[in-house]
Amino acid sequence: MVFVASIAPTLAHFVSPVALALQAQGWEAIAVASGAGSLRGFDRAYDLPPFRRKGLWAHLVAFRALRQVLLREAPDVVHLHTPSAVALGRLAAASAGVPSISVVHGTLLEPRSRRSALFVLAEAPFAWISSRTVVVNRDDARFYRRICRRGSVQQAPAGGAGVAVLAAGASAPSSPNALYLGRMAVDKNLDFLVEAWKEARQRIPNLTLRFVGGSLEGDPAWTPPDLDGIEHEGWSDPSIEIDRARVLVVASRREGFSLVVAEAICAGIPVVAVENRGTREIARQVQSGLTVVPFDTARFADALVEAEHCHKRHPRPDLLARWGTEATVTFHLGVIIDCLERRVAGERRPADRTRAS
């Protein structure tokens, strides 16, 4: 098995549990991404030249490097993650005669714009190439079922490899606070959060806003303003941070399935989020704990104030059976094994092979 992503952190956080489960069944797991040489938990790793959010030439160079890896390793299937790597990986796998599974953690279909139109134009002619396409919300499922082979699109129970850890569930902090946890990037609309927090603070003067996270390779980085009441911390343990919060806030307009939202709900922390495909998907599955609002600072501020005033925790450990790592990894294994069985029908099973890859 070859796992491909644009950058190594995607494989480390979203893919490694799936790789470990496959290794336990006798398969080799090979990582391919920019910066993959530092990864642990894979049998081998190959670095790709950086191409995330870079121009056409960088993508062509990465395509050639990826194709060479696939020709060298001759894997049974290629597992693709992140938009750029999915686009390159489909073509590289097809040119090397290897089936691919495209895992779509999120799309550029919303908000509607020139960028979303270009995304449709890029995906429509090529999405069918993958033997399987995995999505994480039903809106994306509808889109891909229109352009992919019949029966080849499936929806995972959660994003990434599922919710891995449930926060401790201690009593809520006494002082009002809101937490943002994730990438510190412009496309996460963090200026929007600051403006909504300012409006909410007119009604809750001691409300603090805590940003936890950092930027990744290729991100247009965002720096929090130096204002009283705003805190900033680098990457930290998400469960600890969620456990210390009274409200989790999310403003991204493009999410496939937000794991931080899912974990906060499991831990009983109220969430206020801008509407997107991912938050709509989670809202369909829960009746409380998540308030989804339009991209409007006044509406967001109102929801934040209400969530802060009603901050009692209602943990939902039962949701781990649906969104947890075990359920999500089991789903991905089923998709992979089905794809492999079709490819190696009539051949020896992995346990009988001298080398499985």
Residue 19 and residue 153 in one domain:
yes
Decide which of 83 and 2 is more confident: 2
Residue 168 counted as domain residue:
no
Cα separation, 119 vs 125, in Å, equals: 11
| β partners of residue 3 | 31, 79
Phi, psi dihedral angles at 166 (to 5 degrees): -95, 130
Residue 225 and residue 110 in one domain:
no
- Where in the sequence is the domain holding 227, given as residue range(s)? 177-319
Residue 171 counted as domain residue:
no
Contact yes or no for 71/96 (Cβ under 8 A): yes
| CB atoms inside a 10 Å sphere around CB 287 | 7
Contact yes or no for 141/155 (Cβ under 8 A): yes
Residue 154 and residue 184 in one domain:
no
Residue 295 and residue 334 in one domain:
no
Residue 293 counted as domain residue:
yes
Q: Tell me, what amino acid is at 241? A: E
pLDDT of residue 167: 52
Residue 95 and residue 242 in one domain:
no
Residue 215 and residue 261 in one domain:
yes
Contact yes or no for 275/292 (Cβ under 8 A): yes
Residue 315 and residue 329 in one domain:
no
Residue 167 counted as domain residue:
no
Mean pLDDT of the 131-148 span? 97
Mean pLDDT of the 249-278 span? 95
Residue 181 counted as domain residue:
yes
Residue 108 and residue 82 in one domain:
yes
From residue 70, alpha-carbon distances to 1, 54, 94, 300, 345 in Å are 10, 22, 10, 47, 21
* pLDDT over 60 at 356, yes or no: no
Token pair of 301, please? 């501020």
pLDDT tens-digit map of 38-92: 888 899 999 999 998 888 999 999 999 999 999 999 999 999 999 899 999 999 9
Residue 170 counted as domain residue:
no
Residue 172 counted as domain residue:
no
Residue 193 and residue 333 in one domain:
no
Residue 231 and residue 143 in one domain:
no
pLDDT band at 354 (very low <50, low <70, confident <90, very high): very low
Please count the structural domains in the chain.
Answer: 2
Angle, nearest 10°, between helix axes 83-95 and 56-73? 50
Residue 336 and residue 286 in one domain:
no
Residue 184 and residue 148 in one domain:
no
Residue 14 counted as domain residue:
yes
CATH number of the domain within which 233 lies: 3.40.50.2000
β-bridge pairing 230-233 and 247-250: unpaired
pLDDT of residue 351: 46
